[in-house]
Structure 1
């Protein structure tokens, strides 16, 4: 696919029109250039890990934080870029789809269809991750004050309970200066970025800041052009009509050639700060995001002796040439642009010298296609296809939080509460269609309306015994209420644009179903409640050395598996986290350097884990609770300003993860949620396994999404010229050890062994599947900063050695295929920035 210059230039024009300003106008005080900043020094970064603004080095919590200039130095424009520089942060391709990045911190992250992820993402203090993997506002990587990665349970002071960590994106707040910038980037794979921001002071009234970002990049994987679908009956190419279920041409259908793992992103943001009085400040953010990114799993290998592998092999005796940059898929991966807008209003009132009120209210309206369309098996055979529905998925989120902050003598406190509601449409012609698959029997699709309500009260108290010693205690109690209505239609020869229900929405109407199709309505409602709490102590040995430690208890709500005959529960997840750390700043030849380290030991009870089966005849994710899981390890980061011309920074994380007790409830769950019809031989095979009495059978697995080792090292060689300009060379290296794609890579749940492997246990890793091997990548950047006090120019190369590495996969070896997602190849780009 060629570079669509017209579309990209239109996006650029839109941004520049929004941010139009006299380019040669002089601001009152030019923004500080990169050349004059203390690069790599994190001691002055302001973070909000405890919901108040404070210096990073003074917070007794493990945090990695970057300013926008530090993000630019590391060429961070996406979640995969960010993970290179953050100890313990792994970004993987959710369900093998590179267009759906998922964060994991210290091995805890999104486990496919779990109720909520273990890591929550926030923008301007508003949680972004929706329940049930519906579309929402993606993180934005432009015009930020900081990005902060918080490690460990964060459920006490943040709006959603998370047992693994949180990633905070803090946008720039309008200032009282007239200033701005324009940044452009051009590179290989038709890479083009344009970013701009304009800050307009409004006198005593306040200030307005406008910003925009556009990114076009051709995908680094191309699909096979004109490949005939192996079944000679179905590929959902551009000529397929979803409403009629018909192709425009007779016989077989050829897919158009396209590229995937592309970037087609457009974002705008406007922020208005109003000074309502001397003590009241109100800030409103309006932001919009749209993208047309395409991605899918790619077939890596076949498992001999399986029905799917045999079928693929019969039509294609040899796989594609050993070229991971070519994919042979049988699903049309193109889709309309997603559209998400959000309004976030924050009001702060300095009521007295010792009392501050802060209120956050937001609304997010999102429309998109999530994981549809995708080719789950990554093969040219119509085995496990997720077809683009006839209408986008819709999601609406309302969030309200009130905080009271202040101090009474030596005690600092934060108390408050929040309301968190997510709603989806329910009308027959608007209800979401999150699952639309195809096989030789026709369409299998699910209409779904999920609702989520959460209310919580929280408090945190810090007692400052003296200038050196402090004690902190915090707690949150949460009440969760979730409901789900699923309408399952199987064996329909075409996609039904309207859910086949009566006026009540609770009963299937046979006359609305095609001949041979079946329909089932499932309703479920669950309530959960739980506590998150923590206690800690920190001691400042000197002004530059902080010792700290403590205990945190994290809670994550449970849910239900909404597919099959009934709705089966999975319970809440709880974690007990013990941690201790040190933050130190010191001088090397008069130059400030830092070294931080934290050790942790986490014990989970009821960790929510997923496995795949064929409930109701379709590929679905089933959630169960693992009995006991242990994570232990440490992470460390340092910034060493060794000379006036060289800075060395680095970070390392070690995580040892293990299941101590992991029962196999797959057959019990399958009986509860799926209308399985086991043949006598299958039933005998299951009974032969005799696993139903072994409550620790699955403990032979290793927790998925966890890299045992993660290392990043970056150097910065720099020299300031006589005119104030600076030249800098920045090489960096990232190493990430292997991780497993899911939580049954060594031992398959019993139901999977019965259905797909003749009742014999399956070790996927032993056969080279369900694994992302370790890898090392190198990046380089050459900067020319502060040219004429206003220009910065850089030359960049990423993945210099062109390393082939995987960032995720589907983990469905039991079905006969290993499908994976690959990271970007070597890329070059030039970047320029003008400040005014």
Structure 2
């Protein structure tokens, strides 16, 4: 009994210390001798998380919102950076085996795998258009008004069920005035960024056009080296493919970027009651292979021992072993599986096109109709030499394609003399994907080319309302019905034989179908004009799918949805004449039918990857966010979170080789997470202003898969960024010097146990980098 209650006591004690620490900091801020003027108090941030514009502090939800200016101040360059500023949130770029994806976890719930057979646990929305796959979510922060991160299940409002939470990117809309900007950045690894915007009013107060563009170029930071050239005495019969030049045997690099993006937005307001927004965005990302390096090789594994003795040593005179682990910033990957006759380029690309249109019509003064129509398509290729060596052991090639159509209709209104705010609507999604390329696992005598495809549909209807019982007290309730389906066709051919991979040839798996009702009920009470408390209960789910990596048809089976019952209480406050903003939230979630994967071997010794619903877990957590403006020009912001994830029941996964245990912690979820930033704007009179800023981020130990293998875990680490910004007196010219990873902290962004479980790889962190930015606003 004592042992079981300890995590709860630890969570309560941690939450108490967290709250007391922040309240003490707030009290210190109150003692400032000179009160900040009105324009130095915490500004109102308007969000649209409930389909209407509301003050962030008056919205009874756990939301982190950052404006475009705040993103720049923190030197955030992509969506993965933004996760550092929000409690209970992990956003990280995927490893080389998962392509241009953002692996997102909120409050202990997330998704690592990009495969289209699986549903994201955290929803990504760009201007309210749902992005149905993790692949393609490594968004650049192009001309954004703000980002909103909503924590907790979003089952009753947003376009598609998001069990963990939602990340919303809201772009700047065209405006009825001319404006433009241009910005250039030069930095480490020959980084050259260029971005700009022009806003043109075509017809006064009726039609405006906004054009935005971005270009990024940066060399890779992991060297890809010819092993036989660099270490001839250890290379056996391998022959160099490059001639040594000086001390260099480089074949190239990994982790380099080459991206072009453009966006056009047209806003038409033919009358005061109608607004039409059309947008088109094109991205051409031709980056080289993602950074990847060897961490560990289990040379005692039976499959590897056999491969070394029977194939590698006879052919090359050396085994695959620890000689290929020399430096996390060096890879000996050749991207060539000689035994299976496959060689692939070292690439990590995505080409996307997105088109959307929304129509807002004020039917009456209190009722608005909105239609959001969108079409997206993207394709890309990402490869991984999983053994990071010139010896053929494991090579994967993914050629992904996806297209989706979404349609949403909403009606939002206010009734009964402003006593009821309500929203209702329907949502439709249809998506098709393809996955080509193949897997070439020489050590397991498996090699195949593939031409798989997926088809998915989602239809839902929702209603949501807030009843203002008194001026201070409100009741919120919501309901959503969802019906969805997914099918997967497996079409694979053995390499080099050319025979069908599956006995009987290509086949389509049984369709995964389900329907679901989610609901929410909440109360909020305005204690004062600047202090609100709230409580809510909500449900959510993550759709089912089909096991996408079977080695026999019998393993290509559907699995069901995950479900969540979530309880939350919170406080939102502006204290001491709005000099201090303190938001707190505590939650308890009952998490059922977890979609767990087990990587291992089947009874015939072949690699086996199985995904199945298993057992349940409970998640407890506490979150705090604070902003302080103790004096003119001085701003301090911080957040912290504690997450306690505990598996209660493994169900069918109990005892499965390569599966989780009752002691397993959820992957991608650090127990503790903190960030803090401080900046001071020093006015230089007629010389403009100078603003130094310093940020620090910490996360505790993080596991990367359900077995919690310590070699695949990342110990806690802290990162620091610094930025110095100069603004000219007229605010038109500006310049900034930024340094990321200021103290050159090394860590792995992610770690991965390759299929077969004897190769451990990881994406090493970017080292300390500097950049100089110069911009002009017109």
The answer to whether the superposition gives a TM-score over 0.5 is yes
Residue 717, structure 1, aligned to residue 712, structure 2: no
Aligned length: 703
Contact 1:462–1:470 (8 Å) recurs in 2:
yes
Contact 2:520–2:537 (8 Å) recurs in 1:
yes
Counterpart selection for 1:456 from 446, 460, 463? 460
Counterpart selection for 1:606 from 584, 593, 606? 593
Counterpart selection for 1:265 from 256, 259, 264? 259
- Which moved further from structure 2: 272-281 or 63-72? 272-281
Contact 1:94–1:809 (8 Å) recurs in 2:
no
TM-score by length of 1: 0.79
In structure 1, what is the equivalent of residue 338 of structure 2? none
In structure 1, what is the equivalent of residue 385 of structure 2? 375
Tell me by how many angstroms 1:287 deviates: 0.3
Counterpart selection for 2:469 from 465, 472, 476? 465
CA-to-aligned-CA distance 1:301-332 (integer Å, 9 cap, x gap): 12241146543894366535642111222325
Contact 2:80–2:138 (8 Å) recurs in 1:
no
Residue 342, structure 1, aligned to residue 349, structure 2: no
Q: Quick one: structure 1 residues 549 and 230, their matched pair in 2 at CA, closer, same or farther if it must change by over 3 Å? A: farther
Alignment of 1:359-758 (within 5 A): 359-369=371-381, 372-387=382-397, 392-409=399-416, 410-424=419-433, 432-433=435-436, 435-439=438-442, 441=445, 443-493=447-497, 519-562=505-548, 563=550, 564-566=552-554, 567-587=556-576, 592-613=579-600, 621-665=609-653, 691=655, 698-723=661-686, 725-745=688-708
Alignment of 1:1-150 (within 5 A): 41=42, 43-95=43-95, 97=97, 99-112=100-113, 113=115, 115-130=118-133, 135-136=135-136, 138-150=138-150
Q: Quick one: structure 1 residues 665 and 472, their matched pair in 2 at CA, closer, same or farther if it must change by over 3 Å? A: same
Q: Quick one: structure 1 residues 724 and 467, their matched pair in 2 at CA, closer, same or farther if it must change by over 3 Å? A: farther
Matches of 2:132 and 2:78, distance apart in 1: 16
CA-to-aligned-CA distance 1:645-691 (integer Å, 9 cap, x gap): 4221110011011101013448xxxxxxxxxxxxxxxxxxxxxxxx4
Aligned-partner SS, 1:472 = strand
Matches of 1:433 and 1:40, distance apart in 2: 54
Q: Quick one: structure 1 residues 316 and 435, their matched pair in 2 at CA, closer, same or farther if it must change by over 3 Å? A: closer
Counterpart selection for 1:301 from 296, 300, 308? 296
Q: Quick one: structure 1 residues 460 and 651, their matched pair in 2 at CA, closer, same or farther if it must change by over 3 Å? A: same
Contact 1:297–1:377 (8 Å) recurs in 2:
no
CA RMSD, aligned part only? 3.0
Tell me by how many angstroms 1:233 deviates: 9.8
Matches of 2:212 and 2:389, distance apart in 1: 41
Matches of 1:715 and 1:136, distance apart in 2: 33
CA-to-aligned-CA distance 1:44-103 (integer Å, 9 cap, x gap): 222121121211111111111111000000111113321222222212343565743311
TM-score by length of 2: 0.85
Contact 1:309–1:817 (8 Å) recurs in 2:
no
Aligned-partner SS, 1:743 = coil
Tell me by how many angstroms 1:492 deviates: 2.8
Matches of 1:622 and 1:445, distance apart in 2: 20
- Which moved further from structure 2: 318-327 or 264-273? 318-327
Q: Quick one: structure 1 residues 40 and 104, their matched pair in 2 at CA, closer, same or farther if it must change by over 3 Å? A: farther
In structure 1, what is the equivalent of residue 205 of structure 2? 204
Matches of 1:336 and 1:606, distance apart in 2: 33
Matches of 2:766 and 2:437, distance apart in 1: 28
Q: Quick one: structure 1 residues 334 and 491, their matched pair in 2 at CA, closer, same or farther if it must change by over 3 Å? A: closer
Contact 1:550–1:579 (8 Å) recurs in 2:
yes
Tell me by how many angstroms 1:618 deviates: 6.8
Tell me by how many angstroms 1:107 deviates: 2.2
- Which moved further from structure 2: 345-354 or 46-55? 46-55
In structure 1, what is the equivalent of residue 330 of structure 2? 326
Q: Quick one: structure 1 residues 121 and 233, their matched pair in 2 at CA, closer, same or farther if it must change by over 3 Å? A: farther
Contact 2:104–2:112 (8 Å) recurs in 1:
no
CA-to-aligned-CA distance 1:593-628 (integer Å, 9 cap, x gap): 211010011111102122224579875642112311
Matches of 2:41 and 2:611, distance apart in 1: 42
Matches of 1:443 and 1:518, distance apart in 2: 17
Tell me by how many angstroms 1:555 deviates: 1.6
CA-to-aligned-CA distance 1:780-822 (integer Å, 9 cap, x gap): 1111123443111111111111110111121349621221112
Matches of 1:191 and 1:233, distance apart in 2: 35
Tell me by how many angstroms 1:529 deviates: 0.7
Matches of 1:790 and 1:586, distance apart in 2: 34
Matches of 2:167 and 2:457, distance apart in 1: 22
Q: Quick one: structure 1 residues 629 and 816, their matched pair in 2 at CA, closer, same or farther if it must change by over 3 Å? A: same
Matches of 1:50 and 1:44, distance apart in 2: 17
Matches of 2:61 and 2:209, distance apart in 1: 33
Q: Quick one: structure 1 residues 231 and 700, their matched pair in 2 at CA, closer, same or farther if it must change by over 3 Å? A: farther
In structure 2, what is the equivalent of residue 830 of structure 1? 772
CA-to-aligned-CA distance 1:308-359 (integer Å, 9 cap, x gap): 6543894366535642111222325533853210101010000101110011
Matches of 1:166 and 1:119, distance apart in 2: 5
Contact 2:427–2:461 (8 Å) recurs in 1:
yes
Matches of 1:703 and 1:661, distance apart in 2: 14
CA-to-aligned-CA distance 1:675-712 (integer Å, 9 cap, x gap): xxxxxxxxxxxxxxxx48x9x98323221111001110
Tell me by how many angstroms 1:524 deviates: 2.6
In structure 2, what is the equivalent of residue 760 of structure 1? none
Q: Quick one: structure 1 residues 411 and 190, their matched pair in 2 at CA, closer, same or farther if it must change by over 3 Å? A: same
Q: Quick one: structure 1 residues 39 and 576, their matched pair in 2 at CA, closer, same or farther if it must change by over 3 Å? A: farther
In structure 2, what is the equivalent of residue 804 of structure 1? 746
Alignment of 1:133-172 (within 5 A): 135-136=135-136, 138-172=138-172
In structure 2, what is the equivalent of residue 221 of structure 1? 222
Matches of 1:434 and 1:705, distance apart in 2: 28
Matches of 2:737 and 2:406, distance apart in 1: 42
Aligned-partner SS, 1:319 = helix
Contact 1:398–1:422 (8 Å) recurs in 2:
yes
Matches of 2:442 and 2:235, distance apart in 1: 12
Tell me by how many angstroms 1:823 deviates: 1.7
Contact 1:129–1:136 (8 Å) recurs in 2:
no
CA-to-aligned-CA distance 1:704-760 (integer Å, 9 cap, x gap): 111001110111122112227211111111101111111122xxxxxxxxxxxxxxx
CA-to-aligned-CA distance 1:354-404 (integer Å, 9 cap, x gap): 1100110000011112xx31123444442221035xxx4321100000000
Q: Quick one: structure 1 residues 404 and 469, their matched pair in 2 at CA, closer, same or farther if it must change by over 3 Å? A: same
Contact 1:803–1:825 (8 Å) recurs in 2:
yes
Matches of 1:162 and 1:173, distance apart in 2: 26
Matches of 1:328 and 1:787, distance apart in 2: 52
Q: Quick one: structure 1 residues 624 and 337, their matched pair in 2 at CA, closer, same or farther if it must change by over 3 Å? A: closer
Matches of 2:652 and 2:454, distance apart in 1: 28
